[in-house]
């Protein structure tokens, strides 16, 4: 009577080949995950920026006072927009958070590898909602100043913030 052997499981060669195939597929997929991460990070960050500008303008109109948006270091507006945005009622000295001012909102810091910049030290909304004298373009570039996933928010003289439709946005190096 012949001996019948029942094989359950994989042999060593099959296991090695399967592992190699999985590793090769991972090597192909990882760069696309990085690109997706940059795209999602840029989209969510620029949305936070736009919503913060809308909030600040609404607060200026609602409270009938000047409201400033800027990154704050030592209670003064800074040029490092990566540290996050602060929205405050600015009754005292412009671009400075003094005792007479009220902090309304703060965003989290943006990714430290990204480039965030504005062409002015702050955005100031007047009691009527205008951003006269502080209008400009706030840019967000994930990982590189010329990233294909870069986004921008434009604040016009009337104080309205909108997304830029421009495709090749470049940020200034920090």
CATH of residue 119's domain is 3.55.40.10
Question: pLDDT band for position 172 (50/70/90)?
Answer: confident
139 found inside a domain: yes
3-state SS record for 58-97: HHHHHHCCCEEEECEECCEECCCHHHCCEEEECCCCCCEC
Phi-psi region of 166 (alpha: psi -120 to 50; beta: other; left: phi over 0): beta
Considering its fold, how many domains does the chain have in total? 1
Residue 173 covered by a domain: no
| Domain extent for 152 | 12-163
The percent helix, strand, coil of the chain (3-state, each to 5) is 30, 20, 45
Compute the average pLDDT of residues 137-163: 94
106-145 pLDDT per residue, tens: 999 999 999 999 999 999 999 999 998 999 999 999 999 9
d(CA 147, CA 104): 32
How large is the average pLDDT for residues 50-70?
97
User: How far is residue 52 from each of residues 65, 154, 155, measured CA to CA in Å?
Assistant: 17, 13, 12
CA quadruple 89, 93, 94, 97: dihedral sign: negative
Q: DSSP letter at 133?
A: T
- The pLDDT of residue 1 is above 60: no
Residue 75, in any domain of the structure: yes
pLDDT mean across residues, the chain: 90
Asked whether residue 171 is assigned to any structural domain, the reply reads no
> Does residue 76 belong to any structural domain of this protein?
yes
pLDDT at 15: 84
State percent of the chain over pLDDT 70.
Answer: 94
Residue 33 forms part of a structural domain: yes
Query: Does residue 6 fall inside a structural domain?
Result: no
Instruction: State the maximum Cα–Cα separation within the chain, in Å, rounded to a whole number.
Output: 101
52 domain-assigned: yes
């Amino acid at each position: 009577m012949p001996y019948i052997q029942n094989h359950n499981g994989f042999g060593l060669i099959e296991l090695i080949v399967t592992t190699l195939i999985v590793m090769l597929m991972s090597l192909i997929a990882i760069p696309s995950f990085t690109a997706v991460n940059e795209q999602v990070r840029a989209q969510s960050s620029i949305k936070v920026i736009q919503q913060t500008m809308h909030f600040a303008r609404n607060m200026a109109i609602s409270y009938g006072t000047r409201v400033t948006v800027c990154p704050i270091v030592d209670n003064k507006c800074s040029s490092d927009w990566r540290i996050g945005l602060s929205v405050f009622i600015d009754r005292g000295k412009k671009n400075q958070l003094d005792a007479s001012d009220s902090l309304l909102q703060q965003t989290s810091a943006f990714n430290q590898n990204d480039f965030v910049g504005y062409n002015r030290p702050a955005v100031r909304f007047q009691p009527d909602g205008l951003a006269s004298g502080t209008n400009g373009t706030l840019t967000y570039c994930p990982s590189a100043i010329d990233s294909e996933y870069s986004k921008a928010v434009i604040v016009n003289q009337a104080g309205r913030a909108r997304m830029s439709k421009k495709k090749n946005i470049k940020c200034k190096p920090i």
